[in-house]
Amino acid sequence: MRHQLADTFRSLRVRNFRLFLIGQLIALIGTWMRFIALDWLALDLSGNSGAALGLVTAFQLAPTLVFALYAGKLADRFDKRRILQICNAIWFVLTATLAVLIMSGNIQLWQIYAFSLVLGVVSAQEIPTRQAFASELVGPELLPNALALNGATFNSARIVGPAVAGVLIALIDVGPIFAINAVTLAVTVITMAMMNPAELHRPPKAKTNATVREGLAYVRRRPDLLLPLGLILIIGGFGFNFQVTLALLAKSEFGVGPAAFGLLTTALAVGALAGALGGTKRRKRPGVYLLLGAAMGFGALEMIAGFSPNFVTAVILLVPTGFLMVFFAQAANQRVQMGVSPSMRGRVMALYVMVFIGSAPIIAPLVGWLAEVLGPRSGLWAGGALSLAAGLIALIYRSRRRNVVVSLERRPRPHLVFAEPGRTAISFPNGSKWVKAA
């Protein structure tokens, strides 16, 4: 047991990574509390409008679509740790200001939109920088484990944050939650300052004339990067809209309060945490069939969850849905991160973040509108159907181009075998275990 635990958390032996993870866990708990409070506040101020909720999400994510590629260029040129400190300090000021407005009783819906937009501008720089910074904390050998633990931290916060937020909204309203988030953001600034820069695994600085176009050309030449990016674009945009769909499902379909809304989000996060921990043993770049299988499995489960007959069934189904959501997202992230040159990582990860998060400003209002027209459940079943279709189409397209033969083997237990001419066959779901081709 000790050996298994040591292997699962092996990246924590690195002091800089420990500090990073502690700061992230505390800040993300506060940030998830803020997400729940902001959604609930937007629904209250707009009269339970799904379109308004979609706009709040869109305003937070739209700047990523515009600024992410330039942010990746800055991340490749400058000190990533300093950039992250500055971003979190700005967030602290923004969140504290909003807390004062809410608790003074002067908050209006347009102010929520404005706050979400400015928050999104800072996020456009912070997220790709943080993604690229992971490799500097631990180096290439520990990178798969560090990425998995980072995902586990994110999803641990998704469990604790929404649950605490749901209770606090019922007890003390939304204003104090933003004040708590401001304090947690300050902790991140402090832990970043405590790191030892000499122990960071920094790649050579990008040349001063390095361009965004270089990064795009680099990805365009790499089909192994284009596939996960394409899947993330569709599945991240349509399938991962739980911030919109669960709030509407809780309030409009099941007629429950904020505490129960927090439980839905927590159920999703419990599965997500398990999915993140499931990748901690990974030491190699995830295979393409593992990625495709996770994508299709997630889509099928989300579609089923959309037809949940009652609240309890929805909570139960969201656990395995959350598992495959993060298992897929983490496999896509690792496949991209572990396949790029260190000097290009900032720009490539910026493109990853842009297609993952930047698609939401266009799609989130559409999902909100669809939920108003077809009912709150449609956001889930439609997103799941599109995610399933994306994975299936990618599998068929790749199989035809490479003349892949797919067979079902029943022993030693049922599994699929994908055989490509001239290459060793691979089995799924044991996607990392290669078998000899016939």
pLDDT digits over 93-145, tens only?
999 988 888 888 788 888 888 888 998 889 888 888 888 888 788 877 787 78
Rounded Cα gap, residues 274 and 233, in angstroms: 23
306, 310, 316, 322: CA torsion to nearest 10: 30
The band of 13, judged by pLDDT with boundaries at 50, 70 and 90, is confident
Rounded Cα gap, residues 342 and 201, in angstroms: 10
pLDDT of residue 87: 92
> Mean of the pLDDT values across residues 228-247?
81
pLDDT of residue 204: 65
Q: Where are the beta strands (DSSP E) in 161-229?
A: none
pLDDT of residue 86: 92
Higher pLDDT, 316 or 437: 316
What is the C-alpha end-to-end distance of the chain, expressed in Å?
38
Same domain assignment for residues 371 and 410:
no
pLDDT of residue 434: 43
pLDDT of residue 424: 59
Same domain assignment for residues 305 and 220:
yes
Backbone angles phi, psi at 285, to 5 degrees: -65, 130
How would you write 358-417 as a 3-class SS string? CCHHHHHHHHHHHHHHHCCCHHHHHHHHHHHHHHHHHHHHHHHHCCCEEEEECCCCCEEE
% the chain with pLDDT above 90 = 10
Q: DSSP of 316-361, one letter per residue?
A: HHHHHHHHHHHHHHHHHHHHHHTTS-GGGHHHHHHHHHHHHHTTHH
pLDDT of residue 46: 79
Residue 47 lies in a domain: yes
pLDDT of residue 429: 62
Residue 382 has pLDDT above 80, yes or no: yes
Residue 204 lies in a domain: no
Residue 184 lies in a domain: yes
Rounded Cα gap, residues 289 and 300, in angstroms: 16
Rounded Cα gap, residues 59 and 352, in angstroms: 19
CATH assignment at residue 232: 1.20.1250.20
Rounded Cα gap, residues 403 and 229, in angstroms: 23
Rounded Cα gap, residues 414 and 158, in angstroms: 34
pLDDT of residue 425: 64
Residue 229 lies in a domain: yes
Residue 431 has pLDDT above 60, yes or no: no
> Mean of the pLDDT values across residues 371-378?
75
Residue 344 lies in a domain: yes
Same domain assignment for residues 266 and 379:
yes
The residues pairing with 434 across neighbouring beta strands, listed in sequence order, are: 426
Same domain assignment for residues 349 and 430:
no
Same domain assignment for residues 139 and 107:
yes
Higher pLDDT, 318 or 207: 318
DSSP state of 250: I
Residue 203 has pLDDT above 80, yes or no: no
Q: DSSP of 58-99, one letter per residue?
A: HHHHHHHHHHHHHHHHHHHHS-HHHHHHHHHHHHHHHHHHHH
208, 213, 214, 216: CA torsion to nearest 10: 140
pLDDT of residue 216: 81
**154-158, 206-210, 332-336, 356-360: segment of lowest average pLDDT:** 206-210
Residue-number span of the structural domain to which 363 is assigned:
2-199+209-401
> Mean of the pLDDT values across residues 31-53?
80
> Mean of the pLDDT values across residues 264-271?
81
The neighbour count for residue 224, using CB atoms within 10 Å, is 11
Q: How many domains does the chain have?
A: 2
Residue 403 Ramachandran class (φ > 0 left, ψ -120 to 50 alpha, else beta): left
Residue 249 has pLDDT above 60, yes or no: yes
Express each pLDDT in 47-84 by its tens digit.
Answer: 767 677 778 877 887 787 778 778 888 887 888 899 99
% the chain with pLDDT above 70 = 86
Residue 272 lies in a domain: yes
Higher pLDDT, 360 or 346: 346
CB 27 within 8 A of CB 188: yes
Same domain assignment for residues 413 and 395:
no
Name the token pair of 56. 């709040």
Helix or strand (DSSP H, E) at 28: helix 15-46
Same domain assignment for residues 284 and 388:
yes
Q: At what angle do helices 15-46 and 143-172 cross, to 10 degrees?
A: 40
Rounded Cα gap, residues 263 and 40, in angstroms: 14
Answer whether 0.75 is exceeded by the pTM: no
pLDDT of residue 190: 92
- The verdict on whether omega for the bond into residue 223 sits within 30 degrees of 0, i.e. cis, is no
Rounded Cα gap, residues 353 and 40, in angstroms: 26
CB 55 within 8 A of CB 97: no
Residue 176 lies in a domain: yes
Same domain assignment for residues 381 and 416:
no
Three-state DSSP state, 425: strand
Same domain assignment for residues 290 and 158:
yes
Express each pLDDT in 170-189 by its tens digit.
Answer: 788 888 899 999 999 999 99
Same domain assignment for residues 340 and 421:
no
Express each pLDDT in 186-196 by its tens digit.
Answer: 999 999 999 98
The band of 357, judged by pLDDT with boundaries at 50, 70 and 90, is confident
The band of 432, judged by pLDDT with boundaries at 50, 70 and 90, is very low
pLDDT of residue 92: 92
The band of 437, judged by pLDDT with boundaries at 50, 70 and 90, is very low
Same domain assignment for residues 422 and 356:
no
Same domain assignment for residues 182 and 137:
yes
Residue 251 lies in a domain: yes
The band of 364, judged by pLDDT with boundaries at 50, 70 and 90, is low
Q: What average pLDDT is seen over the chain?
A: 80
